[in-house]
């Protein structure tokens, strides 16, 4: 009375059928990274309302777009009236992101 493993044909038919409706239901958290900074904890603890943290980026530099904390694209900030948006400009290079580069 042993359990027989599923046949290759049975497994391939299960995995080859796209479950598009299930994929569409998955939530993805999107983050936009404007820049980075490293500061001593003592300085962070002294910060109050209105404190400014200088970032390692310039005004016209591309931002990082992350999906579930993974870099997926680069983009540009766009401002229209009172809304802020990000225009995707290119695919992200994960090695650049990990190195803190552009």
Q: What is the pLDDT of residues 58-79, one digit of tens each?
A: 888 899 999 999 999 999 999 8
Supply the pLDDT for residue 16: 58
pLDDT, mean of residues 10-16: 55
Confidence of residue 101 (pLDDT cuts 50, 70, 90): low
Q: What is the pTM of this model?
A: 0.67
Burial class of 75 by CB neighbour count within 10 A (0 to 12, 13 to 18, 19+): middle
Strand extents, DSSP E, 4-102? 30-33, 63-67, 70-80, 83-91
Task: Look at 18 and 102; give whichever has higher pLDDT.
Answer: 18
Supply the pLDDT for residue 23: 79
């Amino acid at each position: 009375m042993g359990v027989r493993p599923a046949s290759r044909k049975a497994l391939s038919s299960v995995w080859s059928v796209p479950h598009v409706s299930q994929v569409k239901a998955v939530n993805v958290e999107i983050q936009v990274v404007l820049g980075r900074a490293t500061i001593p904890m003592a300085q962070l603890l002294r910060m109050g309302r209105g404190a400014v943290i200088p970032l390692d980026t310039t005004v016209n530099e591309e931002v990082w777009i992350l999906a579930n904390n993974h870099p997926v694209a680069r983009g540009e900030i766009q401002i229209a009236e009172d809304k802020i948006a990000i225009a995707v400009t290119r695919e992200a290079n994960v090695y650049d992101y990990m190195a803190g580069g552009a």
